[in-house]
Structure 1
Amino acid sequence: MPEPYAFLKGHGTENDFVLLPDHDGTVHGDLSADRVRALCDRRAGIGGDGVLRVVRREGRWFMDYRNADGSIAEMCGNGIRVFARYLLEAGLVDPTAPIEVDTRDGLKVVRVDGDQITADLGTPRVLGDTVVGVGATSWPAQHVDMGNPHAVAFVDSLDPHGPVGPLLDPPSRDPERFPDGVNVEFVVRRGERHVAMRVHERGSGETRSCGTGACAVMVAAALADDARPSGSDVAYRVDVPGGTLTVTWTTDDRVLLTGPAVIVARGTTAL
């Protein structure tokens, strides 16, 4: 068992993470999958949908994100806002300036306005039609890449007792298109430019929110509504079980994710 080390716990719309400050990269090194699983265990560990290791790399803050099962992920929209909140509260960045965070999907820029944090997640890639299923029921879906893969399916109901179910197991998907798995979002419409979603995240299971998933959902909804930005930005409200996110698709083809992010605990662990 390792020597005790510092951790923090934070969440963005109840998508929760264990944060590991490792600024010079000497505390954790190449974080093992076993360590990540132990930290994220909700009964025997701290509990979380993933781990955010905070490390300084080549002069930039780097978000080393791992899913709850220990697998490496390219990007995390809620996680990067929690990451930025930590940097601010730790006094590691200028609170009046945009925050640059390096990720496996490249450099992202984050801006803070009170309790709301906006992350520029870049240009979406719409990669065509696919199909996802739960049990014997399947739905057409849109493949949208936000630095990580998503399949967005519009359904009649998000009721956990209905066809979508509790999402305990990964929904079925096209294995050729998604050989390494995919994040699957089920979506219903609530009103004009207002949708709600549930998500099964690759490597974490059903979560209370998914930031890149909300962005993928917004892009799919805007395309279905013939509302691609032209002349002005387009914004949608996306309700998730853990709260509400705002996603804006800009005229210069960027997707901005806005929502809260909070640090809720600090301590030490020897997991």
Structure 2
Amino acid sequence: MAELPGTPYPFLKGHGTENDFVLLPDHDGVVHGELSAARVRALCDRRAGIGGDGVLRVIRTEHVAAGRGQDAAWFMDYRNADGSFSEMCGNGVRVFGRHLAERGLVDPSAPVPVATRAGVKTLEFAGGRADGEITVDMGAPKLLGDTEVAVTDHGGRRRWSARHVDMGNPHAVVLLPEGDDLADAGALLDPPAYDPAVYPEGVNVEFVVRRAPRHVAMRVHERGSGETRSCGTGACAVMVAAAEADGGARDVDYRVDLPGGTLRIRWTADDRVLMTGPAVVVAEGTTAL
């Protein structure tokens, strides 16, 4: 079904550690059909639209080709702010789950599977309550070796070694040398330079400093969205890179501070990454964007 510009449709606005999203309820895939990149850009525009780092279309899995065959009733159809597809969004999937639980579409007292382009992610709600923190099983990370990134700012061009970590989407994690500061990454108005042979679909780049044992802080430039206040998959990639540097620590929590809040990440002995954090829906209405 083609989109009908000017026809009002419902939306919600939510965020996880200030990584914010426009949610579009489209349970049977008849409101938006194939959601266009132009509509995503209009919705995410912070001056002329609703504003957000991305769009989450809430749709039953059976109505999305990318979700068929996945053992989950709901599919998170995620787009970056520029309209491009992304395989996964860690903060977004918590916001997605919060909406489903608040509307009674899932039971928060039981694990909630959500289908994504990176496979099924399972959510658990603290205390079995729709309003508690949410833990997401993000699956097994892939550590794919070292690469390099660079930024050019008013101070000139700087290069750093980075760890290539795949969390269902690609990451380049820069563990900044002691003495460097997060501000050394510059304004991050443009994507850091990277090797397109390593990241043919683009990459999220994280800059990390250590605060204390098992406690790090980060900034991130997300492909398709720019610098964001938080990135859930990025926080997971950062934790894995830091834990690997710490000798492969497992079954311990790392605190990851982001500009928009804090996430708790655990890399388990059976090679799963568990992310715990808040999610909130802050507004709803209708729009004709």
The normalised TM-score by structure 1 is 0.96
Aligned to 2:67: none
Contact 1:170 1:200 (C-alpha < 8 Å) held by counterparts: yes
Equivalent position SS for 1:16: strand
Distance, in Å, in 2 between the alignment partners of 1:18 and 1:8 is 6
**Letter of the aligned partner of 2:201 in structure 1?**
D
The alignment covers a number of residue pairs equal to 265
| Structure 1 position 228, deviation (Å) | 3.0
Contact 1:105–1:147 at 8 Å: present in 2 too? Answer: yes
Q: Does 1:110 align with 2:119?
A: no
2:149 is matched with 132
Residue 203 of structure 1 corresponds to: 224
Gaps of 5+ in 2: 63-71
Q: Could you give the per-residue CA deviations for residues 224-253 of structure 1, whole angstroms, max 9, x where no partner exists?
A: 011332xxx121000000000000001110
Partner of 1:6: 10
Q: Matched residues in 2 for 1:127 and 1:2: separation? A: 46
| Residues 1:79 and 2:103 aligned together | no
Tell me the equivalent position of 2:104. Answer: 91
Is 1:64 the equivalent of 2:64? no
Q: Given the two structures, how large is their TM-score scaled by the length of structure 2?
A: 0.90
Confirm whether residue 215 of structure 1 aligns to residue 236 of structure 2.
yes
AA partner of residue 117 (structure 2):
R
Q: Which runs of 4+ in 1 moved over 2 A?
A: none
- The structure 2 residue matched to 1:247, chosen from 261, 265, 274, is 265
- Counterpart amino acid of residue 7 in structure 2: E
| Cα distance in 2 for residues equivalent to 1:269 and 1:164 | 37
Contact 1:189 1:196 in 2 (8 A): yes
- Cα RMSD (Å) of the superposition? 0.9
1:100-131 Cα offsets, whole Å, 9 max, x none, are: 10000111100111531011000000000000
Measure, in 2, the Cα distance between the counterparts of 1:2 and 1:237. Answer: 45
Distance 1:120 1:57 in 2: 19
The Cα shift of 1:168 comes to 0.2
Q: CA deviation at 1:166?
A: 1.1
Partners of 1:227 and 1:234 within 8 A in 2: no
Residue 187 of structure 1 contacts residue 196 of structure 1 at CA under 8 Å; is this kept in 2?
Answer: yes
Task: State yes or no: 1:265 paired with 2:265.
Answer: no
Deviation at 1:179, TM superposition (A): 1.6
Q: 2 CA distance for matches of 1:158 and 1:204? A: 19
2:256 alignment partner, one of 227, 238, 242: 238
Assess if the C-alpha contact under 8 Å between 1:141 and 1:151 holds in 2. Answer: yes
Q: Which amino acid aligns with 1:146?
A: M
The SS at the match of 1:35 is helix
Give the AA of the match of 2:40: V
In 2, Cα distance between equivalents of 1:234 and 1:172: 33
Q: Secondary structure at the match of 2:249?
A: coil
Residue 219 of structure 1 aligns to a residue in which SS? helix
Stretches of structure 1 that go unaligned for 5 or more consecutive residues are: none
Q: Which residue of 1 aligns with 2:58?
A: 54
Larger CA deviation: 72-81 vs 53-62: 53-62
Instruction: Name the counterpart of 1:43.
Output: 47
Cα shift at 1:2 = 2.9
Percent identity reads 72
Distance 1:53 1:248 in 2: 28
